[in-house]
Amino acid sequence: MHIVDLARFLVGEIAEVTGMLTTFIPERPLPQGGMGQVTVDDTAAFLARFRSGATGVFETGRVALGRKNFMHLEVNGTRGSLYWNAEDPNWLWFYSLDDPPHLRGFRRILVTEEVHPYAGHWWPTGHILGYEHTFVHAVVELLEALGEGRNPEPSFVDGVRAQAVLEAVLLSQGSRRWEKVPH
């Protein structure tokens, strides 16, 4: 769900999806002993068409050995590309066609300089930010929004819209067709 939120934030609303869900092991040991039926999917993969005309490929798995929180996002545009990985969250990778040909290539940008959003509220420049800092910023956003009389972002509506994408993926699994995401 988090990667759907992030994709919507960066690229816009998703119009339709087609996907598949798989459970590899239908029964697993229960903590109190015995076996229990698995009611969640081990993997999910889907293609998306955004309202903007962009396309997306999403994949997640609970059984990907060696991965801890490898939620990553790559956005490719007509003039450049951007890549980010949650296992290395302080770095953003950027490629630009506007760079001189002899300098083209992905460049790694440390996003903990005080000029970057949120980073200036923490440690001295160059010190890393972690997973826990995102929760502090979410609380700050909520409190500031309440104080200013506006809706916080992300909002409850954002959560509902992300869930609508996932429900369309589930429908697509059954229909084996592209499904529209309701808005």
Q: What's this model's pTM, rounded to 2 decimal places?
A: 0.85
Domain 2-180 belongs to what topology? Dihydrodipicolinate Reductase; domain 2 (3.30.360)
Q: What is the pLDDT of residue 182?
A: 94
Angle at 175 between CA 21 and CA 22, to 5 degrees: 10
If you search the block for the tokens 């609508």, which residue do you land on?
A: 164
Using the predicted structure, report yes or no on whether residue 1 has a pLDDT greater than 80: no
The closest alpha carbon to 118, from 109, 132, 129, 131, belongs to: 129
| Average pLDDT, integer, range 80-103 | 95
pLDDT digits (tens, 9 = 90+) for 134-152: 889 889 999 999 999 999 9
3-class SS of residue 180 = strand
Using the predicted structure, report yes or no on whether residue 117 has a pLDDT greater than 80: no
Residues across the chain: 183
Q: What is the pLDDT of residue 98?
A: 97
Average pLDDT, the chain: 92
How would residue 119 be classed by pLDDT, with cut points 50, 70 and 90? confident
Cα 170 to chain centroid, rounded: 18
Using the predicted structure, report yes or no on whether residue 52 has a pLDDT greater than 80: yes
- SS3 per residue for 5-55: HHHHHHHCCEEEEEEEEECCCCEEECCCCCEEECCCCCEEEEEEEECCCCE
How would residue 133 be classed by pLDDT, with cut points 50, 70 and 90? confident
How would residue 51 be classed by pLDDT, with cut points 50, 70 and 90? very high
pLDDT digits (tens, 9 = 90+) for 5-33: 999 999 999 999 999 999 998 999 999 99
Using the predicted structure, report yes or no on whether residue 126 has a pLDDT greater than 80: no
